[in-house]
A and B are shown apart, each in its own frame.
Chain A
Amino acid sequence: MSWAVPKEVEEKVDALVRRYPKPRSAVVMVLHALQEHFGCISPEAIEWTARKLGLRPINVLELVTFYPMFRREPFGKFHLRICRTLSCALAGSHQLHRHICEKLGLDPAKPGPQTSTDGLFTVEFVECLASCGTAPVIMCNETQHEQMTIEQVDKLLDQCRCKCGTGREGNLAAEHGFEP
């Protein structure tokens, strides 16, 4: 199957490019648009962006590898972002991160996002999520979970699995009153 940018995405990209005095300036926004559509930034997307903006692919690759928000591989269904900055670190976020990684069979020492083999979870140790007053904080996709403990993390993982029908049965969401 050949890789192609659908017409509506390309139109969106063209509109983005028009917002800047130089096409090059639009590169981050264009990458966001492509990631939103494709789920990640593939080599094809990098090369397409470079052609679109009159750049060399290495210029785009530099950006994609620099910003953690750009993914080079598809992420899991649930993107767990564990805050590693000071307040959360003091409140035990490193232990939470290690616990999650070990539970999902991932290497806590490895830098960058990692995805579990079942493709359900992507774990990322990130900088400040801007909720220092309720440390430690974890974001599951777009939902923020505050003052997390090991027990709550276990429940969160179970809940996520339930949503996909891969975990044990039970109405955890109703039981514990939070949304993954």
Chain B
Amino acid sequence: MKQSQQSNDPLAAPPGMISVTVDGRTVLVPRTMPDWQGRQVPTTMLQACELAGVTVPHYCYHPKLPVAGNCRMCLVEYGVPALGPDRKPMRQPDGSLVIKKSPRPAIACATPVSPGMEIYTSTPTVKLMRQSVLEFLLINHPLDCPICDQAGECKLQEYSVEYGRASSRFVETKVHKNKQVDLGPRIMLDQERCILCSRCIRFTRDVVGDDALGIVNRGSYSAIAAYPGTTFDNNYTLNTADICPVGALTSKDFRFQMRVWFLKETMSLCASCGTGCNIVIGSRENRIYRFTPRQNDAVNSCWMCDYGRLNYRWIERADRLTNPGGTKLTKPDWEDAINGIAAGLKQTIPGHIAIVASARLTNEELYLVRRLAQFLGAPTDCAPRSGPADNLLLCADRNPNTKGAQLLGIAASLPGANLPVFARLIRNGTIRSLLVFGEDVTRHGIAPEDLARLDFLVASDIHSNGTTMISHYFLPGCAHVEKRGSFTNVHGRIQKFEKAVDPPGLARPELYWLSELVCRVTGQSVGRTVESVFEAMRAEVPAFRNIAWADLEDHGVATSV
């Protein structure tokens, strides 16, 4: 007869679930969980511990890489239900399971859980194992933390604080290796700091598909290397500096620039292509020091491309527009500029005005452009921007918000298709007024001599360009890192980003002056905050109808359209 079982019997888990006990706390975990590629595989002890809210330290394990199991930092003790002679679990008199503790520890990252398993992560043995693994890892480590770029975000430092010994027992001579290996154009390797976790090797081999790195030599002399005469140069190399748990792989762009603990972190997006990788901007005293990827499994996993990551230097270029200007503006003043533009727009005639707005503007800004265009009866378009795509994240559309511009009706169905038409209509005198927001139309098929025929030319951009130079009024705009807003990526996911640094001089976010212009020209106010404009957009544009600004949170929301 079946023994009476308690309701919390570890062996009586719901279908598809397993009951395990972590440090005395029983939790239900799924029988299978996604592996690094998203395939369902048996849940590991490490995943179960995470679900139970227990941290298991690890170096080589990374949720988005194949399991290697070489660092041994995640060793834990465990036990499984003991089986009686009848091959059934034995029970204590009170009905609880008899647990047979394994005589050996196991690595939590690669050991699947089984029903009724008990995992112990805080026993004296586990503490001693962690201490010992750290002691081994530090044998040949140079301990050059004061000059190491990883200091402050280094797992060796963190685990030494939490699990390490207070003093070193190592009196022998350390093995010295090369501290400056030029692995590739963007990555520098310090072989002495490396703990040989092989994350970089697995990343470039299994995620990127460029099997460029390996471990050469053996024993204490083992070191990461690229094949002599080759360089580690794919578009994703800098991710290896992110996933390197120590200071072995460093970004040549960032190394020795700033101590990481001084960086202010801002949730943002990469604006270099239509993928919209989620990033964290590291800035200090109004200066940007680095972009790092932020995990979003719906978009970029834990990665971003080198092209996007390093595409930020233009923000502090010397030719930034820092004040309103133009041939008709007598002094660089926002009030005068807005007054002048509003007065000019009130005189335009529908059918004789066109608008070109950049697909680098935010959804909210493009919505304001749409309000203007509808009121003025102006056709609109964007300037397309493209480059070669790759097989991972980089997309051929190099504008971050082409999809948003299409959903808002700003871009032609084939973005840019209207630009030659605009050029022709300007030449034959039909279009008398042109508004250009965030682009240089002289580089997109509208010649400066055609622009010179216009009665009214207003332009905005971040840097001085061929259009702003000859416009009647120009307005200084902001890079996306200098403002808040949202982009819609090529797959229709709406994601928001926050402001990291202030714009230079009198430059103001496009939303700030577009909302002012809309108010002056149409007489209707949509507010001056990103949230209020988003609300107005939501009420009017079907693609955004079911999405509130607050819904976007950290990872964005896919549009239903």
Contacts and interface: CB of A to CB of B under 8 A. Distances in A.
Give the interface size class of chain B: 10 to 19
A111 B220 CA distance: 11
Interface stretch (B224-232, B311-319, B460-468, B503-511): B224-232
A155 to B, nearest CB: 34
A59 B205 CA distance: 11
A62 B215 contact: yes
Contacts of B218: 65-66
A113 interface: no
Interface stretch (B91-99, B206-214, B261-269, B386-394): B206-214
A66 B212 contact: no
A57 B230 CA distance: 10
A101 B203 CA distance: 43
Contact of B214 (A43, A59, A111): A59
Given A56-B212, A58-B212, A66 B217 contact: yes
A61 interface: yes
A56 B214 CA distance: 10
Contacts of A62: 214-216
Contacts of B212: 56, 58
Contacts of A57: 227, 230
A58 B211 CA distance: 8
Interface residues of A, number: 10
A67 B228 CA distance: 18
Contacts of A59: 211, 214
A61 B227 contact: yes
Interface in B322-366: none
A65 B217 contact: yes
Interface in B178-231: 211-218, 221, 225-228, 230
B221 A61 contact: no
Interface in A44-66: 56-59, 61-62, 65-66
Interface string B464-496: 000000000000000000000000000000000
A43 B212 CA distance: 16
Contact of A43 (B216, B217, B221, B228): B228
B216 A61 contact: yes
Contacts of A66: 216-218
B482 to A, nearest CB: 43
Contacts of B214: 58-59, 61-62
Given A43-B228, A61-B227, A56 B211 contact: yes
A59 B227 CA distance: 9
Nearest to B210: A56
A141 B213 CA distance: 35
Nearest to B221: A111
Interface string A54-89: 001111011001100000000000000000000000
A47 to B, nearest CB: 9
Contacts of A56: 211-212, 227
A109 to B, nearest CB: 10
A58 B227 contact: yes
Contacts of A43: 228
A43 B227 CA distance: 10
Contacts of B213: 58
Of the listed residues B213, B214, B217, B230, the one surrounded by the most CB atoms of chain A closer than 10 A to its CB is B214
A56 B216 CA distance: 14
Interface string B427-449: 00000000000000000000000
A122 to B, nearest CB: 18
A58 B225 contact: yes
A67 to B, nearest CB: 8
Contacts of B226: 58
A22 to B, nearest CB: 15
A27 to B, nearest CB: 13
A43 B230 CA distance: 13
A1 B361 CA distance: 61
Nearest to A46: B227
B189 to A, nearest CB: 14
Interface in B225-251: 225-228, 230
B198 to A, nearest CB: 11
Of the listed residues A58, A59, A66, the one surrounded by the most CB atoms of chain B closer than 10 A to its CB is A58
A57 B229 CA distance: 11
A3 B216 CA distance: 24
Nearest to B217: A65
B233 to A, nearest CB: 14
Contacts of B228: 43, 61
Of the listed residues B217, B221, B225, B227, the one surrounded by the most CB atoms of chain A closer than 10 A to its CB is B227
A147 B218 CA distance: 30
A30 to B, nearest CB: 17
A88 B216 CA distance: 29
Nearest to A62: B214
A161 to B, nearest CB: 32
Interface string A89-118: 000000000000000000000010000000
Given A57-B227, A58-B225, A58-B227, A65 B211 contact: no
A66 B214 CA distance: 11
Nearest to B223: A65
A111 B176 CA distance: 13
A55 to B, nearest CB: 8
A57 B213 CA distance: 10
A59 B226 CA distance: 10
Contacts of B230: 57-58
Contacts of A58: 211-214, 225-227, 230
Kindly list the 6 A-B residue pairs having the minimum CB-CB distance in the complex, ordered from nearest: A58-B214, A58-B227, A65-B216, A62-B214, A57-B227, A56-B211
9 contacts: A43-B228, A56-B227, A57-B227, A58-B213, A58-B225, A58-B226, A59-B214, A61-B228, A65-B216
Interface of A: 43, 56-59, 61-62, 65-66, 111
Given A56-B212, A59-B214, 4 more contacts: A57-B230, A62-B214, A62-B216, A66-B218
Interface of B: 211-218, 221, 225-228, 230
